[in-house]
Structure 1
Amino acid sequence: MTAPESLRVPATTPRPSSRRAQAPVVAVVSLGGAVGAAARYATSLWWPTPPGGFPWTTLWVNIAGCAVIGAFMVVITEIRPPHPLVRPFFGTGVLGGFTTFSTYAVDMRKLLDGGHAGTGLAYLAATPFAALTAVWLAACATRRILGTSDTKGKKSS
């Protein structure tokens, strides 16, 4: 018995994209990540967190980065499609390097290890709530400013 034609696998399946085709994406993500991480590191030097203190710098970096990604995604998905390397460079690279889950986790651990459980738990709850709220508010504000509809992705009349 043979499988119906619609279920047969073609004799030649397309090859996954080559490494050469991925090289520009990897390069722009790396470059963007370096820019974002350097900016985050600079903020930690300008606004250091005292031992046992609330890690305001990391919280505000994550909030700001999430707000920017909310606005950025509206612009590139609802207003005008960008060059194919803009999203990997800025969204994944710069903003991925700027925002930081790892520093959030390290800050949380330091607070717990230092006997500041209350501060650590407040930080644990505040960060994802504030970051998600920032994405949502920035996306809504960007749609309103640019006159787009959040359901159709097209300009309102």
Structure 2
Amino acid sequence: MAVGGVLGSLGRWGVGLALPHRVGDFPWATFVVNVTGALAMGLLVAFLVDRPGVHRLARPFVGVGVLGGWTTFSALAVDAVQLGAAHHVQLAVLYVAATFLVGTLAVAGGMLVGRRVWPGP
């Protein structure tokens, strides 16, 4: 799991470099990693649940390690607080709501697509 966490964290760091933002701007990097992580989790669940022959450590390696390192609730919280402190309260509320709404839809979409691509046993 630790190697997965390193991989996910390095990927998130790379997205942060590619999509930097100043306090008061929409934090696209954190939004992108959290939503894509939610999509990947939906795909992972669709692929691994009730699938015979999958190694028992695949789920924790990818789900906890890679996706745990990739996604970041703490950065979402810091970004929201910083937006509020910079007097961008409406943007902070939009950011948090959009992350949870789009993230939830991404998980559902990932599961739907995954179940069609990888039908269960």
Please state which band the TM-score falls in when normalised by the shorter chain.
over 0.9
* Structure 1 counterpart of 2:88: 116
Counterpart for residue 42 of structure 1: 14
Out of 48, 55, 58, which is 1:86 matched to? 58
Find the partner of 1:102 among 74, 82, 99: 74
Equivalences, count:
121
- Quote the offset at 1:89 in angstroms: 1.0
Deviation at 1:81, TM superposition (A): 4.1
**Would the alpha carbon gap of residues 73 and 81 (structure 1) be closer, same or farther in structure 2, given more than 3 Å must change?**
farther
Are positions 1:58 and 2:58 aligned together?
Answer: no
In structure 1, what is the Cα distance between the partners aligned to 2:52 and 2:15? 31
Under a length normalisation based on structure 1, what TM-score does the superposition of the two structures give?
0.73
- Structure 1 runs not aligned, ≥5 long: 1-28
Deviation per residue, 1:72-114 (Å, 9 max, x gap): 1111114444111111111100001101100000100110111
TM-score norm. by structure 2 comes to 0.93
Q: 2 CA distance for matches of 1:62 and 1:78?
A: 26
Q: Specify every segment of 5 or more residues in structure 2 that has no aligned partner in the other structure, as ranges.
A: none
Q: Residues of 2 paired with 1:57 and 1:34: CA distance? A: 18
Give, in whole Å, the separation in 1 of the partners of 2:94 and 2:77.
13
Give the counterpart letter for 1:70 in structure 2: G
The structure showing larger relative contact order (alpha-carbon pairs under 8 Å, at least 6 residues apart) is: 2
Distance 1:79 1:101 in 2: 29
Identity of aligned residues (%): 36
RMSD over aligned Cα atoms: 1.3
